[in-house]
Amino acid sequence: MKIGFIGGTGSEGIGLVSRFAIRNMEVGIGSRNIEKSFNAAKEISENISSSGKIFSGLNSEVASESDIVFVCVPYGAQKNIMKDLVQFLVGKIVVTVVVPVVFKKGMIEVSKTQSSSAAIELQDLLIESRVVSAFQTISARDLKAINNPINSDVVVCSDDKSALNVVMDLAENIDGIRAINGGKLSNSVYVENITPLLLNINMIYKKHTAIRITGV
Ligand SMILES: NC(=O)c1ccc[n+]([C@@H]2O[C@H](COP(=O)([O-])OP(=O)(O)OC[C@H]3O[C@@H](n4cnc5c(N)ncnc54)[C@H](OP(=O)(O)O)[C@@H]3O)[C@@H](O)[C@H]2O)c1
């Protein structure tokens, strides 16, 4: 199974690619620039000792080659970039990690989305794909510290139950992550709202926070 990353050259993409590659999974880094994706893949391969195969290419190439595709671009880029990729994502599981945040006067806020959440907007753009929302509360910094377990829960939401189960299993390949079934995709809005809260708490305490759901 190949897992591709649109915008995989950013911090969150690199962190997730590294975590899956160390579990010997086949992962692909997509970019708007082929050289940038090649260099990111090379850098990750050098940083981790694993037999997992990392491939690279333009976003369209990686989307087309992969069975599961992660969307790791800034919220503001989501709509435009998907116009060119929709055809490569038909029938596939598409995992969004996108958080619609804005930075205002030293604080972090959720930016207004056209519909209720970034994940719902993505599903509206990709009507023939199986959109799953996950990983919004897992920081790139934690993901990139590959020798440390993550020690956090990941809430996974989707309207497609089998896709949701696939992504829950995938998430638990990452050391220290427990996947929580967050129910339907419309619940993603609540998860997307937790991340700015965590970032603001990080600034106040000068610490690095994550979430655990207790009672389940
Ligand atoms: N960073 C975190 O700790 C974190 C945690 C949880 C969730 N997230 C979410 O994960 C996503 C990625 O975060 P990130 O920090 O990795 O973001 P980023 O570094 O700002 O962007 C990721 C990649 O997106 C591509 N990109 C940037 N602007 C674009 C545009 N206008 N059109 C098309 N592609 C564009 C770039 O790839 P190319 O230049 O190679 O095309 C870039 O390397 C965001 O939605 C963020 O909210 C981030």
Among the CATH numbers 3.40.50.20, 2.170.120.40, 1.10.540.10, 3.40.50.720, which is that of 2-205? 3.40.50.720
State residue 99's pLDDT score: 95
Question: What is residue 52's three-state secondary structure?
Answer: coil
pLDDT digits (tens, 9 = 90+) for 173-214: 999 999 999 999 999 999 999 999 999 999 999 998 999 999
Say yes or no: CB of residue 142 within 6 Å of ligand 1.
Answer: no
- Integer Cα distance of 98 and 78 in angstroms: 8
The alpha carbon of 215 and the centre of ligand 1 are apart by a number of angstroms equal to: 33
Q: What is the pLDDT of residues 106-115, one digit of tens each?
A: 778 888 777 7
Q: How far is the CA of 93 from the centre of ligand 1 (A)?
A: 19
Whose C-alpha lies nearest to ligand 1, atom 6?
Answer: 136
d(CA 163, CA 91): 11
The Cα–Cα gap between 66 and 53 comes to: 13
Structure tokens at 187: 């619940």
Centre of ligand 1 from the C-alpha of residue 72, in Å: 5
- Per-residue pLDDT averaged across 65-74, rounded? 98
36-49: pLDDT as tens digits: 999 999 999 999 87
Exposed, middle or buried by CB within 10 Å (0-12, 13-18, 19+), for 169?
exposed
pTM: 0.97
What pLDDT score was predicted for residue 51? 62
